[in-house]
Chain A
Amino acid sequence: MEAQLAEFKAGKLTRSGATLAPDPRKGVVRLCQTEDTLVHVQWYERTAEGRAAEPLDDVIVFPGEAMLEKIPGQRAVVLKFPEDKTRNMFFWLQEVGGTPEQDEALVAAFNTALHQPEEAAAAALAAAAASAAAAATSAGVTPSDALEHAHMSTAPGAGVMQGAGGIIGQLPAAPAQTPGSTAATNAQATNLAAILGNALAASLGGGAAPAYTGGGEEQLAHSLLAQLAAAQGHRRRAMMAPGPSLADVLRPEALMPVLRDPSVLQELAPHLPEEHRTTEALAALAHSPQFQQQLSTFSQALQTGQLDLSQFGLRAAGYSVADFLAAIQDLVERERQEQAAAEGGDNGGSGGQQGQGQGGQPGAGEGAAPMEQ
């Protein structure tokens, strides 16, 4: 899935010697961001039905590598690569009735999107979602109608057409609400959360989209938008789930009480280096920069959705550390229930842990709970 950032109608200009010769074909210059966060500048041919399926030109541009400039005295622009002139691309504008101001605005918007793709993607997403949600306030509007509305509207402030394009996955059914009511606002937030959730999942390229059901969607939507908006500049930084890192949560103070327990050492020993299977070594580990660093790296992979947690049997609701920890708790609970069920017919065994109830006992545990490896 791609995020469309900007597009404008233009034909190609090809260089022949010292002059630029216009290619008569109608076309579209399109700026988009693919899942791997790379930004592409593409040129498509255009017919009455719209843009062709595949671009005839497709170049990857890194932020700062190129900018669009208006060619003085002509309705033409150049995508300029200061470090390599041979890469310069020239286009003649085909936007109808363009005044010089509109052309300048078009160039400015394109450059903004080129240098801050995440913000542009977020703006496009928000604009499309807002249009979709607004369009859905009249009863009986179907999701596809809403999409059309979004596509035809011009994003506020930008001189460039921003289509809803391929960002939006499955739109949930638009509820019939009257505008201005609290229910409508909540519905919009729910829609937005679902849309953003799908977009986040899609752009992170992970497996199933996290299921955003239940309370807190509005906050989630806000925080996700904030994340999208904040993720700018560093071209490889993917979107991060909010919240502290695992390194912050598993500070030595939090771990030491557990690690001091000899039975814990016994259980964890197989996963420790052979020469570090002592309580002192465990304590040293918890305080060590090497452990902090591995936690930090793991957490970054987790929070940017690069980890497939299902391979560990975990079902996480999202990509934050809290979601991860909750998923582990959930897994342990499921394993306990499975074990209880398996031993179901066994009445009052040897004072084992099976009978201890499903909710998990708070407080310091004594002895090792049965764990499935």
Chain B
Amino acid sequence: MEWTTIESDPGVFTELIETIGVKGVQVEELWSLDQLKELSPVFGLVFLFKWKKEPIQPAMTTDSGQVFFAKQVISNACATQAILNILLNVQAPGLDLGTELSNFREFVSDFDPTMKGLAISNSDLIREAHNSFARPEPLVPDDDKDDEKSGDAYHFISYVPVGGKLYELDGLQEGPIQLCDCSDDDWLDKVGPHITARMERYAASEIRFNLMALVGNRVDIYGSRLAAATAHRDQLAAAAAAGGMSDEALAQAQGKLLEAETEVANLQEALAAEQAKHRTWHDENVRRKHNYVPFLFQLLKLMAARGQMGPLLERARRPAAAGGGNGTKQ
């Protein structure tokens, strides 16, 4: 069962999660832990970095117990696996795993971490969703295979609170690593120092890393906040319009109404921006999955037929820019 490499992009992961049937989740890229305040509810964090395949130093792990933990079995699947290690641990009102994934969790609940990892790699549902984001053949570059052979790989580590404790879930370790006690409200504060320590360690050796957060679907969240704010505003508007108030009370009511109007306007803007972002993600995914080679040929033939090859040929005959002019690798 082949798992292809996919891009580590929040738009890719968000749609991948939806394809598996999960509702109410999206993935955001973080450049600073401060962003987390705005993104509540945060279900988990994924720390991603490029690493040389060195022997793993075994950490102190605990028995899984109530924690869903799957060992990493297939290297190309590690991003998807890290995300599942979070999703299958979350109990939150806004998050719906969907029938198939819920059944899957049920099915593997008694499996040990290795078996869970194997079950993921054998799951048609998950694998097909993952592979649907691969670049169309024959466009897979040899470079991807090079990374495997040269000993580099991407490594994903998840952070998630479960049952009052904060865990680090590293697919290459034997079990979950318990970091500290926490509550749903303070786990983000508590995870901060661990993430920062990792970032500093990797920055020192110039290892590239990314941080992503699994958060509630923001279109849904802004949508319901907007509905509430609109209702509130309408209420205040009705109250202010109703007569029989003193001038002072009226002034106060109108002040409140203005605040409510502003709130509604802000939320409308935020909702529109979020919807635009999701549309952009969708467009990017459509492009990722489409093979543009036939388009390329037709476009070039068209330009040739219109006598417009000249400038292109001229540019193609100039020596390449330093570094081979090959375009940048993702």
Taking beta carbons and an 8 Å cutoff, which residues of A are in contact with B? 234-236, 240, 242-245, 247-250, 254-255, 258, 264, 267-268, 271-273, 275-276, 281, 284-285, 288-301, 312, 320-322, 325-326, 328-329, 331-333, 336, 360-365, 368-369, 371
Q: Are B315 and A244 in contact (CB under 8 A)?
A: yes
Q: Are B316 and A325 in contact (CB under 8 A)?
A: yes
Smallest beta-carbon distance A308→chain B, Å: 11
Tell me which of B286, B293, B296, B302 has the highest count of chain A C-beta atoms within 10 A of its own C-beta. Answer: B302
Smallest beta-carbon distance A171→chain B, Å: 30
Q: Are B300 and A328 in contact (CB under 8 A)?
A: yes
- Minimum CB distance partner of A361 in chain B: B307
Q: How far is B146's CA from A333's CA once the two chains are assembled, in angstroms?
A: 40
Residues of A within 8 A of B309 (CB): 325, 328-329
Q: Are A258 and B308 in contact (CB under 8 A)?
A: yes
Q: How far is B28's CA from A132's CA once the two chains are assembled, in angstroms?
A: 63
Number of A-B residue pairs with CB-CB distance less than 8 Å in the complex they form: 157
Q: Are B327 and A296 in contact (CB under 8 A)?
A: yes
Tell me which of B138, B325, B327 has the highest count of chain A C-beta atoms within 10 A of its own C-beta. Answer: B327
Q: How far is B305's CA from A336's CA once the two chains are assembled, in angstroms?
A: 9
Known: A292-B327, A329-B304. A248 touches B315 (CB 8 A): yes
The secondary structure that dominates the A interface is: helix
Q: Are A369 and B139 in contact (CB under 8 A)?
A: no
Known: A248-B321, A360-B307. A267 touches B298 (CB 8 A): yes
Q: Is B37 an interface residue (CB 8 A)?
A: no
Smallest beta-carbon distance B142→chain A, Å: 6
Report 28 cross-chain contacts, Cβ distance below 8 Å, ordered by A residue. A236-B146, A242-B319, A243-B320, A244-B325, A245-B325, A247-B326, A254-B315, A264-B302, A268-B295, A268-B302, A271-B295, A272-B295, A273-B286, A281-B283, A285-B287, A290-B287, A294-B139, A294-B296, A297-B140, A300-B141, A301-B141, A325-B300, A328-B304, A331-B304, A332-B301, A364-B306, A364-B308, A371-B302
Residues of A within 8 A of B312 (CB): 249-250, 254, 325
Chain B positions 313 through 330: 1 when the CB is less than 8 Å from some CB of chain A, otherwise 0: 101111111001111111
Tell me which of B141, B316, B317 has the highest count of chain A C-beta atoms within 10 A of its own C-beta. Answer: B316
Residues of B within 8 A of A361 (CB): 306-307
Q: How far is B306's CA from A268's CA once the two chains are assembled, in angstroms?
A: 14
Q: Are B304 and A332 in contact (CB under 8 A)?
A: yes
Q: How far is B297's CA from A298's CA once the two chains are assembled, in angstroms?
A: 11
Known: A234-B146, A290-B284, A329-B309. A320 touches B316 (CB 8 A): yes
Q: Is B292 an interface residue (CB 8 A)?
A: yes
Beyond the given A248-B325, A301-B141, could you list 8 further A-B residue pairs with CB under 8 A, ordered by the A residue number? Answer: A248-B327, A258-B303, A297-B135, A298-B139, A312-B297, A362-B307, A365-B307, A369-B305
The secondary structure that dominates the B interface is: helix
Known: A236-B142, A291-B292, A369-B305. A244 touches B287 (CB 8 A): no
Smallest beta-carbon distance A324→chain B, Å: 8
Interface size class for chain B?
A: 35 or more
Q: How far is B198's CA from A349's CA once the two chains are assembled, in angstroms?
A: 74
Q: Is B65 an interface residue (CB 8 A)?
A: no
Smallest beta-carbon distance B155→chain A, Å: 22
Residues of A within 8 A of B321 (CB): 244, 248
Q: Are A247 and B327 in contact (CB under 8 A)?
A: yes
Q: How far is B327's CA from A282's CA once the two chains are assembled, in angstroms?
A: 21
Q: How far is B304's CA from A272's CA once the two chains are assembled, in angstroms?
A: 20
Q: Are A258 and B320 in contact (CB under 8 A)?
A: no
Q: Of A249, A264, A288, A297, which one neighbours B316 at CB under 8 angstroms? A: A249
Residues of A within 8 A of B300 (CB): 325, 328
Q: Are B313 and A268 in contact (CB under 8 A)?
A: no
Q: How far is B1's CA from A245's CA once the two chains are assembled, in angstroms?
A: 34
Q: How far is B300's CA from A33's CA once the two chains are assembled, in angstroms?
A: 37
Q: How far is B308's CA from A356's CA once the two chains are assembled, in angstroms?
A: 16
Residues of B within 8 A of A281 (CB): 283
Q: Is B310 an interface residue (CB 8 A)?
A: yes
Q: Is B193 an interface residue (CB 8 A)?
A: no
Smallest beta-carbon distance B154→chain A, Å: 18
